[in-house]
Amino acid sequence: AQKVTQAQTEISVVEKEDVTLDCVYETRDTTYYLFWYKQPPSGELVFLIRRNSFDEQNEISGRYSWNFQKSTSSFNFTITASQVVDSAVYFCALSEARNAGNMLTFGGGTRLMVKP
């Protein structure tokens, strides 16, 4: 069975600090997909990134970067020079290719608070 763990339930940083959100997953499938979503205080879910199990290249998008390591089953998310607008709940999610329903299994989320 697939499982996603986000051990950090809440993180508080001061603006301009770097912060890393951890995500550890479990799956028996060899082909799978990992996602990060952002949920700002307004409540909607915003898709940030997808990574497939065959691509371990790290990705950078502006102040955001993602580190995928199959050896440790982790897909961590780093925000560089955090800003108040980054305050949100962040979810990591997993989808297995063999899962007919394409179901997303979500971690419990990490609430990030960036203080001015």
Partner 1 sequence: DADVTQTPRNRITKTGKRIMLECSQTKGHDRMYWYRQDPGLGLRLIYYSFDVKDINKGEISDGYSVSRQAQAKFSLSLESAIPNQTALYFCATQEGQPYQPQHFGDGTRLSIL
- The three-class DSSP label of residue 71 is helix
Question: Among the candidate windows 14-22, 59-67, 71-79, 94-102, which touches partner 1 by CB under 8 A?
Answer: 94-102
Counting contacts by CB under 8 A, is residue 104 touching partner 1? yes
Of 64, 96, 91, the closest CA to residue 8 belongs to 91
CB of 46 to partner 1, least distance (A): 8
Output the DSSP codes for 25-37.
EE-S-SSEEEEEE
- 116: tokens are 């001015």
Counting contacts by CB under 8 A, is residue 109 touching partner 1? yes
Q: Which of 30, 47, 59, 115 binds partner 1 (CB under 8 A)?
A: 47
CB of 24 to partner 1, least distance (A): 14
Question: Would you give the DSSP letter of residue 81?
Answer: S
